[in-house]
Structure 1
Amino acid sequence: MTLSIRRAVAADRAGVLALIDGARGDGLSAAERAERGFVQGHFDEAKLAAMEATTGIYVAEEDGRIAGAALTGAASSVQDGGPPRLTVDAAQRAGLAPDRCYLYGPVVVDPSFRGRGVVRNLLRAVDAHLGERFDHGVLFVEQSNLKSLAVHRHLGMHEAAEFAVADRRYTVFSFASGTFRDQPAGSSSPA
């Protein structure tokens, strides 16, 4: 069985939303959420359609089954005052031009596909598709999400900034376009 990566289409929305809902960590203790990772934010078909029409959603699939998904958005189009806006602001303070950055995430992987390089393969595809248009990818991770912090550190992403919303602390990661494009599976990228 071979994992393939492609840009999502409307028919993928239900599967992507199911992955996101399954990755929320609802019903888990704080320790279990930290260990397994979790997804935040509101996503529905309209929001996915808007992402598909701009920078895109990328899905990893095997034999027609969605193994994972990476959502992206143009940093310059972020409107709300929550973590996405604060991520763009932090990236700008770190010297990155918002019109040359895209937001990466969330990224979700079906539990049965974890440990198989799905995130790295998704990043390769995202980088290949968006790297000519944007200089950097940026993302935020809540600091209580130990699993996600570990994954993005393992991938070699640069910790560019931090911010807080109420009692929650976040780390902003960035990576230069081209970082993952030609990287073989299983290797760490440069910071």
Structure 2
Amino acid sequence: MAINVRRSLPEDHAAILSLMDSARGVGLSDEERARRGFVQGQLTGELLDRFQEGPGIFVADADGDLAGFAITSEPGSLPPQHPAAAAVAAVTRAADGRDPGRLFLYGPVAVDERFQGRGVLTQLLTALSRALQDDFDLAVAFVETANERSLAVHRHYGMTEAARFEIGERAYVAFTFAPSAFAQGRS
């Protein structure tokens, strides 16, 4: 089965929202969610429209089925109380006065269970890195420390653990990566 990564279209929104809902891990125990991974946040069609106008939403299309998606956005595209804003602030503080360059936010990302283990995430990372490497220096992602699977995935790809931060009672790791490092593809 061939997988094609492309920028999303408005007609992809329903499938993206559906996959996002199924990737939340609702109904699972905290231990099972940590082991299987989960995504957070509430997406709407309006938010997807806004993200689509920014750096973009990238989808992995498997013969008409949505195999996965990766959302990218500009810092400041979400409210200041959102963990994304805290992640950017933590990365900026960790830079200790050095200019981190032009930033974009990476995530949320989800791969349909039917397609996991088939290189879909690698293809998404490679495609979005190729598309964004000329306009951005650094991607910023954040992962709740309770999400063991997502932490392991980010570490597997060699993303830098740039900072840690907390919001309320939740602890997060801010990861960074240079799109130029992924533009040629990694495993």
TM range, smaller chain? over 0.9
Q: Name the residue aligned to 2:180.
A: 178
Partner Cα distance (1:172, 1:44) in 2: 24
Residue equivalent to 2:86: 86
Question: How far off is 1:99 after superposition?
Answer: 6.6
Percent of matched pairs sharing the same residue:
46
Q: Residue 111 of structure 2 aligns to which amino acid in structure 1?
A: V
Superposition CA RMSD, Å? 1.4
Match of 2:130 in 1: 128
What corresponds to 2:118 in structure 1? Answer: 116
How far apart are the structure 2 equivalents of 1:47 and 1:5? 21
The CA deviation at 1:81 is: 1.4
* TM-score, L = length of structure 2: 0.95
**Alignment deviations for residues 2-45 of structure 1 (CA, whole Å, 9 cap, x no partner):** 11100001000000000000001100000000011111111010
What is the Cα deviation at residue 78 of structure 1?
Answer: 3.9
1:51 aligns with 2:44: no
Tell me the residue number matched to 1:22.
22
**Aligned-pair CA distance for 1:183:** 2.3
Q: What aligned pairs does 1:163-174 form with structure 2 within 5 A after superposition? A: 163-174=165-176
- Map Cα deviations across residues 105-162 of structure 1 (whole Å, 9 max, x no partner): 0110000000111111101111011111000011000000000000000000000000
Q: What's the CA shift for 1:80?
A: 2.4
- Which portions of structure 1, spanning 4 or more consecutive aligned residues, are displaced by more than 2 angstroms? 76-80, 94-99
Paired residues of 2:101 and 2:137 also in contact (CA < 8 A): no
Q: Give the whole-Å Cα distance in 2 for the aligned partners of 1:35 and 1:84.
A: 23
Q: Hey, what's the Cα distance between the residues in 2 that align with 1:65 and 1:98?
A: 37
Q: How many residues align?
A: 185
8 Å contact kept, 1:74–1:103:
yes
Q: CA deviation at 1:82?
A: 2.2
Matched to 1:68, the amino acid is: G
For 2:157, the equivalent position in structure 1 comes to 155
2:56 is aligned with 1:65 = no
Contact 1:142 1:171 in 2 (8 A): yes
- SS of residue paired to 1:26: coil
Q: Cα–Cα, structure 1 residues 180 and 71, in superposed 2: closer, same or farther, change >3 Å?
A: same
- Give the conservation status (yes or no) of the 8 Å contact 2:101–2:138: no
Counterpart secondary structure, 1:49: helix
Corresponding residue SS for 1:106: strand
Confirm or deny: 8 A CA contact 1:76 1:99 kept in the other structure: no
C-alpha deviation, 1:166, in angstroms: 1.2
| Contact kept in structure 1, 2:123 and 2:185, CA below 8 Å | no
2:105 to 99, 103, 106: 103
TM-score, structure 1 length as denominator?
0.93
**2 CA distance for matches of 1:98 and 1:158?**
13
